[in-house]
Amino acid sequence: LNEKGQHRAAQRLLVVANRLPVSAIREGDSWDLRLSPGGLVSALLGVKQNFETRWIGWAGINVPDEKGRISLTEALALKGCVPVFLDDDTVDQYYNGYCNNVLWPLFHYIGLPQEDRLAATRSMDSQFNAYNHANQLFAQVVFSQYQEGDVVWCHDYHLMCLPEFLKEMDCHMKVGWFLHTPFPSSEIYRTLPLRSELLKAVLTADLIGFHTYDYARHFVSACTRILGLEGTPDGVEDHGKLTRVAAFPIGIDPERFIQALETDQVKFHIKELRRFFAGRKVMLGVDRLDMIKGIPQKLLAFEMFLEKHPEWREKVLLVQIAVPTRTDVPEYQRLTSQVHEIVGRINGRFGSVTFVPIHHLDRSLAFHELCALYASTDVALVTSLRDGMNLVSYEYVACQNSKKNQGVLVLSEFAGAAQSLGAGAILVNPWNIREMYGAIEGALTMPENERNERQRHNFTHVTTHTAQAWADTFVSELNDTIVEAELRTLR
Ligand code: ADQ
């Protein structure tokens, strides 16, 4: 309500991310729009009431013809989405190239592409030009949607130049930027050839957010060491201009999961799974098939566990759901083969005619199937080598609160979630296979009272630190920042 007691219109929030929450598939003259899984989509699905949200991004398809662009724009408008159109070459250079082959591995401590250093350096320059070009295309679409009073929230490493382009178009625009991956130590970040350009562009935003305090600290150190700016407790200062930098840990929409568990469809599915798994302990892994998720390490730890503990053979199984992503990138293709090879070897070594130790699925699951798996398994294995936050661990905790099941979360210390769920989970270093197999044993044999205690702790965290609270806090802090252009007029 405003001062006169009238209902105030909800604030308009323009959420800008590389991908829209839906993928478009062309079907003749019409479009099939499907929800695309991923951490950012899951989190923002939890951001409902308080804002009138418009989502701006790429729909995952090249639409060269004008007629198709108009009809897709109309179809997406019904879902509150506005498309950015990117051609195949831009997608290849900007998305597959600079985003997925340069920034993603660098931000997860894998480092820069090295196969042929000279060629990699040359292609990095042209990929950076495509990255800039794509960010400009995003800026044009944002500007076409922008109305005075809107708040613009840019997401992730794909759009680091976007705040600068937006501010050039309208210096009064309120712009926030949030990174969903880790921001690495400045010693890693400073290997990036065009390191200063990206930092300067991001610093034009009014508020910069990270999942954890450590990532925020790494960013501030990169700005002080590379740009020679001053780090303050509130952010980064450049000749009197302060850019706020802070930690805003993301969450999920726990109610979506808790309510799903009460539906007949999920209850039926849980019953089926329990019948199928009867008499055995079940461990679960749910990951995008990505090198950062530590899937081979998880499989090797399970193999060592079965090797060292013959008494557990045929008594425990691992369900590993691995959604393929970035399937055009050779490194991801190699990872898929590697995972299939290890799964085949373990199933060959420890399986029998009637028993398979690893159930590995290379596909996405429907929401009700995912909830049922979360609820009916005894242990979740989240073994990321690096992970901004990791929402799978939150979703598992949200689905484990029944008396029947108080599953144990084994969680990598290199996931941002280790800082929030660390007290309830068993923390592991995923590079240490021996430690991981010990954690598997600990999780499978943990007494009920300890399981309850740990789960209670984590459940409280997950249900109080929600996606809604995350977005509310970020946007209200962004609202509270005074745009630099306004400050100048005040001075
Ligand atoms: P992601 O790397 O995608 O996200 P994560 O946070 O675990 O990782 O989220 C994955 C999401 O996809 C979850 O909501 C999960 O339910 C869904 N999902 C995964 N596998 C699925 C399957 N087989 N079927 C259906 N759904 C599946 C990025 C960062 C993370 C960060 C998030 C949010 O890498 O570190 O936590 O963004 O900021």
pLDDT digits (tens, 9 = 90+) for 120-160: 677 888 999 999 999 999 999 999 999 999 999 999 999 99
Cβ-contact 104, 157 below 8 angstroms:
yes
* d(C-alpha 449, C-alpha 406), whole Å: 10
Ligand 1 touching residue 295 (CB < 6 A): no
Residue with the bigger pLDDT between 365 and 442: it is 442
CA of 489 to the centre of ligand 1 (A): 43
CA of 392 to the centre of ligand 1 (A): 6
Q: Closest Cα to atom 9, ligand 1: which residue?
A: 39
In eight-state DSSP terms, residue 265 is: H
Q: Which of 382, 390, 432, 436 is nearest to 412 (CA)?
A: 382
Q: Closest Cα to atom 28, ligand 1: which residue?
A: 39
Between the CA of residue 416 and those of 133, 156, 246, 371, what are the distances in Å?
A: 31, 15, 15, 22
* d(C-alpha 149, C-alpha 133), whole Å: 27
Q: Reduced to 3 states, what is the DSSP secondary structure of residue 385?
A: coil
Average pLDDT score over residue span 444-461 = 95
CA of 264 to the centre of ligand 1 (A): 25
Give the mean pLDDT of the chain. Answer: 92
Cβ-contact 325, 104 below 8 angstroms:
no
Ligand 1 touching residue 383 (CB < 6 A): no
pLDDT of 228 above 90 = yes
What atom of ligand 1 comes closest to residue 182's alpha carbon?
35
Instruction: Name the residue of 256, 288, 466 whose CB sits within 8 Å of the most ligand 1 atoms, as the mutation to test its pocket.
Output: 288
CA of 390 to the centre of ligand 1 (A): 6
The pLDDT value given to residue 332: 86
Between the CA of residue 227 and those of 196, 238, 374, 380, what are the distances in Å?
A: 7, 9, 45, 42
Out of 37-51, 182-196, 467-481, least confident range: 37-51
End-to-end CA distance of the chain: 32
Highest mean pLDDT among 37-46, 47-56, 111-120, 186-195: 186-195
CA of 169 to the centre of ligand 1 (A): 33
The pLDDT value given to residue 47: 62
| pLDDT bucket at 474, cuts 50 / 70 / 90 | very high
Between the CA of residue 116 and those of 32, 107, 112, 113, 221, what are the distances in Å?
A: 41, 20, 11, 8, 30
Between the CA of residue 314 and those of 212, 273, 319, what are the distances in Å?
A: 40, 17, 14
For 53-161, where are the alpha helices, taking DSSP H only?
Answer: 66-77, 88-90, 104-107, 117-145
- Beta carbons within 8 Å of 249's beta carbon, 6+ residues apart: 211, 212, 389, 416, 419, 420, 465, 470
ipTM: 0.97
The pLDDT value given to residue 420: 96
In eight-state DSSP terms, residue 402 is: B
Adjacent-strand bridge partners of 32? 25
| pLDDT bucket at 45, cuts 50 / 70 / 90 | low
Look up residue 342 and give its amino acid.
I
The DSSP bridge pattern shows strands 235-238 and 230-232 to be: antiparallel
The alpha carbon of 417 is separated from its chain's Cα centroid by a whole number of angstroms, namely: 11
Ligand 1 touching residue 42 (CB < 6 A): yes
Tens digits of residue pLDDT in 373-415: 999 999 999 999 999 999 999 999 999 977 777 899 999 999 9
Tens digits of residue pLDDT in 287-321: 999 999 999 999 999 999 999 999 999 999 999 99
The pLDDT value given to residue 2: 54
